[in-house]
Amino acid sequence: MKYISTRSQSPELDFEQAATCGLAPDGGLYVPVEWPKFDHNELKSLIDKSYCEVVLEVMRKFAGDSVPRDQLNQIVTDAYTDFSHPEIAPIRKIRSGIYMVELFHGPTLSFKDYALQFLGRVMDWSLRKRGEHLTVVGATSGDTGSAAISAVAGRDTIDLFMLHPFQRVSVMQRRQMTTNQDSNIFNYAVNGTFDDCQAIVKTIFGDREVQRHHALGAVNSINWGRISAQVAYYFYAALKIGALNTKVSFAVPTGNFGNVFAAWTASKMGLPMGKLLVCSNANDILTRFFESGEMTKLGVKQTVTPSMDIEVSSNFERYLFELYDRDGNRVDSLMQNLTQTGYFKIEKDKLMQSREHFSAYRVNDEQTCETIARHYSETGEIIDPHSAVALNAVNQAESGLEPPVVVVATAHPAKFPETIERTLNIEVPMPKQLQEIIDLPERYRRISSNPEDLKTLMLAS
């Protein structure tokens, strides 16, 4: 199994290499040379498997022979040891034809744990085998930071520099990052948006002086290892509710397009898939794209769903690569236009092709809170704001949507107590993981959105 860049100007890598690097040298993202497939019998064999067993079979397809099976099995087993629910990713029925997969039972209570607990161990194994050290640089809109820190904290093979937008993540999301005291973790609050943080990371990866001092790696979803591990929960959820006999649709709250791209990847691998609902908040660049074929930057708005307060969806480049029949030059041209002018437009036939797989919705803050309140009134269950965005999109689409549909619940509601308590007028029960950090001292440094600030700090470390 080999991996190529979406801009077609970088050497092929194997899975181990792709999982321990960030951007390709040409600025692109890595994808498989060809999509691995599950045939009908293989899919049938997954139905009764545990979550870990499904992950193992999916990752064997992506890893090829670059990670020995026994080692891969150990990594997968270890990755999900600290998850709080015996099913790891439990699925429950909301109403007729509508389900919810709960992806918040990991150490930091968000869906990011499902990939990063795996990826952190793959990185550590690879680096120890080669006797190397990696400096990981990442940006977070809220959940990636804490999940990455949990996955690599205390590992002597990795240093982690994590950027978050100052005062643009929830208090709990920030404290999950900044209360960590391990010496290999460096937290920075950037005076700007998540997109500014993401731009800093991309600049650092392209800086030759930094590259001479640090071997760089990524934990954001620009890293293919992240995406590949996310693919597994789509197989697990769909097969548990009958995907061999019917197509299953998913409603995915997304800002960076990584989570919904993982669902699309599962469909390319043979999972019977219905529609993929791209669920956006007021930062609706993806929704506008699927409506018009135009990708236009309008600026980032602050919302009650901070993990989705993103404008430049990095993983969308991977989809463009497929949409344009793997024409790396065309992808490079489109992405350069977006960087330089804040705009590009695709052809009408390409837009119609994209709509065969995706439908897109926008949900504002008022609708989000109304959905939280309505769901609580009807079921007695509290959902987080991001999951509410996906549920609202299903409600918008339901008359034109063939069941079954799975709402992807991406975070525990206790990570957003201000919004929940203001909406429901109740105190959110606090899980142990969050109770333990409420009074701990924080450790982080504020920096500007100029990449030179981080560069100076990295060169001095």
Q: Is 131 exposed, middle or buried (0-12, 13-18, 19+ CB in 10 A)?
A: exposed
Contact 104, 410 (CB under 8 A): yes
User: Which of 429, 455, 416 is CA-nearest to residue 176?
Assistant: 416
Residue 234 tokens, joined? 């789509």
The strand pairing partners of 406, in sequence order, are 99, 250
Distance CA 117, CA 121 (A): 7
Residue 216 tokens, joined? 């760089």
Contact 278, 253 (CB under 8 A): no
Distance CA 219, CA 147 (A): 10
User: Which of 334, 298, 358, 305 is CA-nearest to residue 143?
Assistant: 305
Residue 319 tokens, joined? 């989809």
Residue 454 tokens, joined? 């981080």
Give CA separation, 15 vs 3, 178, 332, in Å.
7, 31, 23
Catalytic pick among 37, 49, 61, 112:
112
112 is catalytic: yes
Residue 219 tokens, joined? 């934990």
Residue 365 tokens, joined? 């803050």
Residue 378 tokens, joined? 């009807």
User: Which of 341, 389, 344 is CA-nearest to residue 367?
Assistant: 389
Contact 235, 225 (CB under 8 A): no
Contact 312, 198 (CB under 8 A): yes
CA-based radius of gyration for the chain: 20
- What ranges make up the beta strands (E) of 85-210? 91-95, 98-102, 134-139, 158-165, 185-190
Residue 404: half-sphere exposure toward Cβ, Cα within 13 Å: 26
Q: Which amino acid is at 56?
A: L
Give CA separation, 65 vs 2, 16, 70, in Å.
10, 10, 11
Active site (catalytic) residues: 112
